[in-house]
């Protein structure tokens, strides 16, 4: 099943950058064995929702929507 992931890359300056991508979770073990730093993204929250204090509600709605999706 496709899922949203983030691959984390460390630059020469020591800063870490994250890039989102959609991938098949059946390859996650293979990617980790190759040494990629990949983490699943469970929720994504727009800045305006976070600033309004709606983070918890937003995450609950996303989780409910994700569990109801059949495709």
What residue ranges do the domains of the chain occupy?
1-40, 44-71
**pLDDT tens figures, 32-58:** 999 999 999 989 999 999 999 999 999
pLDDT band at 68 (very low <50, low <70, confident <90, very high): confident
Q: Determine the pLDDT at residue 66.
A: 81
pLDDT level of residue 70 (50, 70, 90 thresholds): low
Long-range contacts at 23-26 (CB < 8 A, ≥ 24 apart): 25/1
CA–CA distances in Å: residue 35 to residues 7, 9, 44, 51: 11, 11, 25, 36
**Residue range 14-30, pLDDT digits in tens:** 999 999 999 999 999 99
Task: Report pLDDT for 71.
Answer: 58
């Amino acid at each position: 099943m496709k899922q949203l992931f983030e691959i984390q890359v460390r630059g020469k300056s020591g800063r870490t950058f994250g890039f989102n991508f959609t991938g098949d979770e059946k390859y996650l073990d293979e990617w980790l064995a190759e040494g990629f730093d990949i983490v699943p993204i469970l929720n994504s929250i727009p800045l305006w929702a976070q600033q309004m204090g709606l983070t918890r509600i937003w995450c609950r709605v996303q989780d409910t929507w994700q569990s109801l999706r059949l495709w």
